[in-house]
Amino acid sequence: MTGPLLSVQGLSVTYRTREGDVPAVRDVDLTVDRGEIVGVAGESGCGKSTLASTVLRLQPPSAKVEGRVLVRGADVLTMSWGDLRAVRWAGASIVFQGALHSLNPVQRVGRQVAEPMVLHEPSLGRDEVDRRVGALLEQVGMPPERAAAYPHQLSGGQRQRVMIAMALACRPDLVIADEPTTALDVMVQSQVLEVLSGLVSDLGVGMMLISHDLSVLADRCDRIAVMYAGRVVEVGAAHEVFTRPLHPYAAALSAAFPRIGDPAARYAPAGLGGDPPDLRSLPPGCSFAPRCARAVAACRTAEPPLEPHGAGRSAACIRVGEP
């Protein structure tokens, strides 16, 4: 197969609500290759999760979708229902945020990990399924006996591991992790992320890791895309984006995390005033302009396109390179 594992091309998702159209994702291009972790960063409501669910066509029926989402070269948005069900989980799987709610409270977790196998490989015998569930749980660092537990008997980190085991059940090529560490404490968070990045290097899957925490992404990802108000405003190698951001919004995100042992960062004015824009009535021009310290008059007239700035980097800001 040629081309990237996941290729999102010109994707726009608009939620049609009673109060008007809400453009949640606007003209997003993104690729994920095998063995690569691509981070998607941004604050709440910037379209990260909508992007994730659209990859498996899980967006609500009221959403209007334009563009193309190619998983292993096939367009998810136009494929038949039967093909789509085959892609769901066997081709690409999701680790949902909030593991407690994504597990059925009245089923043992082992049965839930086995669920995708039952759906996609009905020919497997029960012994084989049980064996693979045990192996999957071991892979994410849980004792296989825990398959007999109910979700409420597990800790938050264990539940999230169960979700990861479930995501791997059918050996997908692409794993989408939608804020997999929300609601976990810092120690458990780093364990779960360790498990996830281990999978990418061991199994060679491609991963899209969604988080609002830019420092986490900088640690684990190969590349990062920063989203603002439904658009990708900066893409680049993870470390570059974190340490030398081009777009003022990426800079503000990066500055929001204290760097230990860097007194300059400690006294620099960090943080970002204002609120994310109302997606129903976006300001003309650059949607970040009202909150941007570097905004000039030209920023408010036309939306800046995403333009390349050096190898593998692009940013959507007209003032990149200016003093």
List contacts with another protein (CB under 8 A). 56, 58, 84-90, 93-94, 96, 98, 101-107, 115-116, 119-120, 126-127, 130-131, 145-146, 148-150, 152-153, 166
Strand partners for 88: 92
Residue with tokens 């800001």: 317
Q: Which is nearer to another protein, 150 or 293 (CB)?
A: 150
Q: How far is the CB of 142 from another protein (least distance, A)?
A: 13
On the CB side of 54, CA atoms within 13 Å amount to 29
Q: How far is the CB of 17 from another protein (least distance, A)?
A: 17
Q: How far is the CB of 92 from another protein (least distance, A)?
A: 9
The secondary structure of 122-159 as a DSSP string is TTS-HHHHHHHHHHHHHHTT--GGGGGS-GGGS-HHHH
Q: How far is the CB of 56 from another protein (least distance, A)?
A: 6
Q: How far is the CB of 70 from another protein (least distance, A)?
A: 18
d(CA 317, CA 320): 6
- How would you classify residue 321: left for phi > 0, otherwise alpha for psi between -120 and 50, otherwise beta? left
Q: Which is nearer to another protein, 47 or 116 (CB)?
A: 116
Q: Which is nearer to another protein, 119 or 282 (CB)?
A: 119
Q: Which is nearer to another protein, 58 or 293 (CB)?
A: 58
d(CA 169, CA 120): 10
Q: Which is nearer to another protein, 105 or 263 (CB)?
A: 105
* Whether 16 contacts 74, CB under 8 Å: no
